A and B are shown apart, each in its own frame.
Chain A
Amino acid sequence: MSRKRLAAALAVALACGAAALAGSGTGRGQAAARAAFPTGPVHLTMWWWGEQEAAGAKGWLADTVRLYEQKHPNVTIKTVLQTTDGLIPSFKAAAAAKKGPDLQYFWGGIWSVGDAWAGNTKPVSDYIPRSELRHYLNIREDTWNGKVWTAPWYVQPSFPVLYRKDVLAKAGIAPPRTWSQLLSACDKLNAKGIIPMAGGIKDGWFGGWLFSLIGAQNLRSLSDLLAAVSGEKKFTDPEFVAWWQRLHQMRDHKCWNNDINSLQLYQGQQKWAAGKAAMTITAGSDVKKFVGQVGVAKVGLMPMPKWANGPYAGKLGSTSQTVGITAWTKYPQVDADFIMFMHSPKRMKAWYKITGAFPADDRFDKSQITLPQQRLMFSLVTHGAPYLENFIPTELDSKANFGQSQLLLGGSANAEQAAATTERIAQRIRLTQRQTVANFKSWAASFH
C-alpha cells in the first residue's frame, strides 16, 4: 500500500504537472449512450495494476478474459500489466493523446474522480445498471456529480489494528476497544516494559493512516472534510483539531515505540511481529502474511479503538481498487459488460481463491474465507467507513498529515500547532491549486 502510494504520488504529480504545463488535458466525455451489444469484431485493451498487492491477479485476469471471449466470440481483450510507477504516467500520456486503453485501473476516491474531472473517463453508472452497481463495495468514494465514475474490483481494508493475544495476556489486558481503554493499556504495558503499539513514520505514510483512522471518528459526513479542503471550513475547527489531540494523548501515554520517528513503516510493524509490541496497524492485504508469521491463535484484529460517536467510529476504513471506462473507448457497453462479468459469482470465487483478497462485492460468498481474522475483516469492510486519505489532495496529505505527525510524535509540535499548520498548508493549496479546490467543492456536494 505505502509503496504504491509513494510511486503514485510522484507519478500522478509528474504527469498532471506535465499535462497542465503542456497545455493539454481537458478531454470531454462524449454523451453517454446505451447501445445494443455489438455483433461485429470488438478489440479491447485493459491497462491494469494489482498483481503487486494481490499476487495471482494476473492469472485470474487471463482466465477471466479467456472465459469472456468464449462467451462472446466476437470480442478480444488484451490486458497490459503496468508497473507501480508506470500506471499513472502511462494513462496520463494516453489521455493527452486521447488514445489508449478501453478499460483502465484506478485506485479509489481522489484517484478515480480526479480523472473524471480531467474528462478522461465515462461514468460506469451510465452503462452498468444501478441494481448491479449497488452491490459493489465502496462506490461512494468514486461518486461525483451524481454519477459513479469507476467500478470497484477488489477491496483494500484500510487499516486494521492487529494485536497479539499472547502479549496482551501477559500484561493482563483485554484488547482495548475504546480510547480510554487504549490509553490505560498503554500505561500498563509500559509499566511491564512492553511497547504498546509499534509503528514507523520516517517515510511518512503512517501519518496518513493515523489521520484516516483517528480523524474519521468524529466526522458527521465526508462533505465536512471536503468542505475543509475547499475552504468552507477550517482545519483549525474543533472537529479537525480533535484527532491531533488524540495523537497528542498517545504521545503523552507513550503508546508508540520511542523510535517511531527513525523507523520506516515496515520496520515498525516488524517489532510487533517479533513480539516486542502488543499492537500495530497494517494494510488489510498484509494481514494474511502477519497471521502466518505470528500464528493464527495469537493474532487478534479490530478497528481503531473508539473515541467519538460519529457514523465512522468503530468501523474499519474501506476502499476499493477500481476499473474505469475511458472517455475515448468505442465500446463502452462492452467494457461495462466485461466489468459485470468480473463480478459474476464464479469469477469472484476464483478471485478470492487465487489472490486471497476480497472481491468488492457484497454478494461474494464469505463462507469461502477460512482464516478467522480475514472473516472478521470481511464483515468489517462490508460495513466499512470511508478512507479519509482518499479525499484530500496529496500535498495536504504529505505536508500536513505526514509532516505534522512526525513533528508531533517527535515532540516539537502540539495538537493546536499541528492543526494551525495544517490550515496554513490548506490555505496555500487553495491559492496554488485553484482548479483542484473548485472540484473538491463540487465533490463535497455529492456527499450531502
Chain B
Amino acid sequence: MTRALGRVVKHALLVAATAASLAPVYVMVSAALKTQPTFLAHPWGLPLHPTLNGFRSALADQFPRWFANSVILTSASVVATLTLAALAGWGFTRWDFRGRDTLLGVLVSLMVVPPVVLLVPLFVFGVKLGWISTFRLVILIYVGLMLPFSIYMLANFFRTIPRSLIEAAVCDGASSWSVFRRIVLPLSAAPLVTLAIVNLLWVWNELLIALVFLQDDSKKTLMVGITGFQSRYSLNVPVIMSGLTLATLPVVTLYVFGQRYFVRGLVSGAVKGE
C-alpha cells in the first residue's frame, strides 16, 4: 500500500518536473504558430489553426542577418579554439617541462574568471585599434575565453593515449607533427566533438560580449538581436516567439543529435554554459 503510494508520489514528482521544464518551451513554439488575437485569447491552447506569419515577419526583419553573424562568429571562434587548444594540449602532455603543472593550474583557474571583469580593458583596447564592431576582436575574445577549458580537457584526454603508441611511431622516425596528426588526432575524435559542441553552444548563447563589442546594426548577433526584438514586437508576441524558436533551433538540434557528447562534456569538467 505505502509502496504503491510511494510510486505514485515519485511519478508525480517526475511528471511535474518534466512539465515545468517543457511548459515554457511549449509556450514558445505554440505561440509562434498563433496569431496575436488567438494568443491573447488562448495563450495556453494548442495552435489549432497554425500560421507561419510570425516566422515570415521574423525572417523579413533583420533576422537572417543576425543569424548569419552568429554562424560566422560561432564557427570561426570554435575552429580557432579547437586548433589552438589541440596544439597546446599536446604540448602540455607530450613534454614534461619545468612549471608545466603550475601553468596548467593557472589555466584551470582562468576558467572561472567572469567575462565582465575583462570588459573595460578590452573595450579600451578595441577603441584604440578601431576594432569595435569588428568580428576579429570578438573572435579573439571568445577564443581566449574558451581556451582554458578546452586545453585542459584535451590535455586530460591526451594523457590517456598509451605512451607505447607514440614511442613506436617516434622509433619509426615520425616527426612530432606527424605523430600528432597521424596518431593523436584520429584517436581524439570523440573529445574533439564534445568540445566542439560545448563551445558551439557557449558562443551561440553568449550575450554580454556581443552586446558590448558589436554595436553596429549589421554586426549584431542573434542573442543581441532577440533581446532588442522583444521591445520592438511587444505588441506581436507570435513574432517574438517565432524569432526565439528560430534562435533556439540550432541549439536544440545540436542537443538532440549530440546529447551523448554534450553530457559527457558537462560531466567532464566545470563547463559554464553562460
Contact = CB atoms under 8 A, between A and B. Distances in A.
Direct contact between A and B judged by beta carbons closer than 8 A: yes
Interface of A: 2-3, 6, 10-11, 14, 17-19, 21-22, 83-86, 89, 93, 203, 264-267, 270
Given A3-B231, A264-B234, A266-B235, A85 B216 contact: yes
B217 A83 contact: yes
Nearest to B126: A18
Nearest to B224: A85
B124 A14 contact: no
Nearest to A89: B215
Contact of A3 (B123, B124, B218, B232): B232
Contact of B216 (A18, A86, A265): A86
B15 interface: no
A10 B224 CA distance: 13
Contacts of A265: 234
B132 A89 contact: yes
Nearest to B233: A266
B231 A22 contact: no
Contacts of A267: 234-235
B36 to A, nearest CB: 10
Contact of A21 (B127, B130, B217, B235): B127
B235 A14 contact: no
Interface in B122-139: 123-124, 126-128, 130, 132-133
B212 interface: yes
A83 B212 CA distance: 16
A222 B132 CA distance: 37
Interface string B201-245: 000000000001001111000000000000110110000000000
Contacts of A85: 215-217
Nearest to A85: B215
Contact of B128 (A22, A83, A89, A270): A22
Contacts of B127: 18-19, 21-22
Contacts of B130: 93
B145 to A, nearest CB: 20
A266 B231 CA distance: 8
B215 A86 contact: yes
B44 to A, nearest CB: 18
A267 B233 CA distance: 9
Q: Interface extent on B, as a size class?
A: 10 to 19
B141 to A, nearest CB: 16
A28 B132 CA distance: 25
A18 to B, nearest CB: 4
Interface in B88-138: 120, 123-124, 126-128, 130, 132-133
B217 A84 contact: yes
Contacts of B231: 2-3, 6, 203, 264, 266
A10 B227 CA distance: 14
**Interface on chain B toward A: helix, strand, loop, or mixed SS?**
helix
A266 B127 CA distance: 35
A10 B211 CA distance: 10
Contacts of B123: 14, 17-18, 21
A227 B159 CA distance: 68
Nearest to A83: B217
A14 B217 contact: no
Given A86-B217, A89-B215, 13 more contacts: A10-B215, A14-B132, A14-B215, A18-B127, A18-B132, A21-B124, A22-B128, A84-B217, A85-B216, A85-B217, A86-B216, A264-B231, A266-B231
B233 to A, nearest CB: 9
Given A18-B124, A18-B127, A11 B215 contact: yes
A84 B218 CA distance: 11
Contacts of B218: 83
Contacts of B212: 14
Nearest to A19: B127
Contacts of A22: 124, 127-128
B248 to A, nearest CB: 22
B244 to A, nearest CB: 16
Contact of B234 (A21, A89, A266): A266
A93 to B, nearest CB: 7
A77 B14 CA distance: 68
B106 to A, nearest CB: 28
Contacts of B215: 10-11, 14, 85-86, 89
Interface in B6-57: none
Nearest to B128: A22
Nearest to B232: A3
Contacts of A86: 215-217
A44 B153 CA distance: 57
Contacts of A93: 130, 132
A19 B231 CA distance: 29
A321 B217 CA distance: 22
B216 A270 contact: no
B194 to A, nearest CB: 36
A127 to B, nearest CB: 31
Q: Counting chain A CB atoms within 10 Å of each CB, which of B127, B217, B218, B232 scores highest?
A: B127
